[in-house]
Amino acid sequence: MIPRTIHQIWLGGPLPGQYVTWRKRLMELHPGWDVRLWTRETLPDYDSVMDYHDLRGYHPSIASDIFRVMVVARHGGFYLDCDTEPIACMEPLRCHTFLCRWDGWAQLFAGHELRINSGDGFGAEAGSPILSAYMDRCAAMRGSQDSVLYRIGFLGFSEHLWERRSAITMLTKQEMERYYRHEGKMGWVRESLDGYRAVLPSKPLEEPFRKQVKPPRPWPAADEMLKHNRGPDTGCCSRPSIFYMSY
């Protein structure tokens, strides 16, 4: 069972006013819960983790990707981004051993499939073997030429969780939004262009989500139209169903 603990991480400057308001609401909805805000000053081993995974110079949101896994693995509980609007108490979600959100589809991001975004929130018991295995994966990826988003970030975490989906509970966006709503503006994509180490080549940063363009459905040749377009209900503009392409 997931403990009554909620973790949030803020590694930048002062917490914006809207996020302060949402944190107050989060605590009001969860009386008796431990609602923690982790910062550079309170995160255990902050400096050593930053150096070990070569995270200095990146946007603070990048480093938070690995710290969120570390604190939930150590203490158990739920992780929520600070740009999350609380809706209701998450008590009904505690019955699971590992919980995350999946909307039933995959988005291509910088050449990797993104199915489960840790920014949408997740919860686990303390000492979760799934999270421990992910930390081992991050250690093994040190020195890799892959993007930091894949080495220790949400892209790697998504792949890791998807491979273990049979052992976790996945709720849809609609189900999760009974309890909270993630704003998720991904400001780090813009801000990484200004003063921070690049997480991706410049072109993917401008449009990191690659859209899949569907080819047009071909019209059949004239002789095929004549061959199949028979019967009292057909007309000159009818298109035989055998040529429809499903997506």
Domain-ending residue, one of 206, 222, 239: 206
Residues 128/73, Cβ–Cβ less than 8 Å:
yes
CA 110/CA 203 separation, integer angstroms: 10
Asked if 225 and 158 sit in the same domain, the reply is no
* Host domain of residue 35: 5-206
- Do the Cβ atoms of 85 and 13 come closer than 8 Å? no
Residue 39 CA to residue 47 CA, distance in Å, equals: 12
Q: Count of domains in the chain? A: 2
Q: In angstroms, rounded to a whole number, what is the distance separating the alpha carbons of residues 194 and 183? A: 22
Name the helix (H) or strand (E) containing 229.
none
In this prediction, residues 218-228 reach a mean pLDDT of: 60
* In the block, residue with structure tokens 């392409």: 245
Comparing 105 with 11, the larger pLDDT belongs to: 11
For residue 96, is pLDDT > 70? yes
pLDDT of residue 213: 47
Strands 77-79 and 122-124: antiparallel
Q: Give tens-digit pLDDT for 226-245.
A: 555 554 444 444 433 333 33
* C-alpha R_g of the chain: 23
119 and 177 part of one domain? yes
Q: What is the pLDDT of residue 104?
A: 87
Residues 135 and 218 in one domain: no
Report the chain's mean pLDDT, rounded to a whole number.
Answer: 83
List pLDDT tens digits, range 9-42: 999 889 999 999 999 999 999 999 999 999 999 9
Shared domain check, 90 and 131: yes
- Regarding whether 157 and 247 lie in a shared domain, the answer is no
Integer angstrom CA distances of residue 68 from 10, 39, 114, 160: 10, 11, 18, 15
Q: Tell me: do 195 and 220 sit in the same domain.
A: no
Query: In terms of domains, do 56 and 116 share one?
Result: yes
Please write down the HEC assignment for all residues of the chain: CCCCEEEEECCCCCCCHHHHHHHHHHHHHCCCCEEEEECCCCCCCHHHHHHHCCCCCCCHHHHHHHHHHHHHHHHCEEECCCCEEECCCCHHHCCCCEEEECCCCCEEECCEEECCCHHHCEEECCCCHHHHHHHHHHHHCCCCCCCHHHHCCHHHHHHHHHHCHHHCEEECHHHHCCCEEECCCCHHHHHCCCCCCCCCCHHHHHCCECCCCCCCCCCCCHHHHHHHCCCCCCCCCCCCHHHCCCC
**Token pair of 227, please?**
């061959």
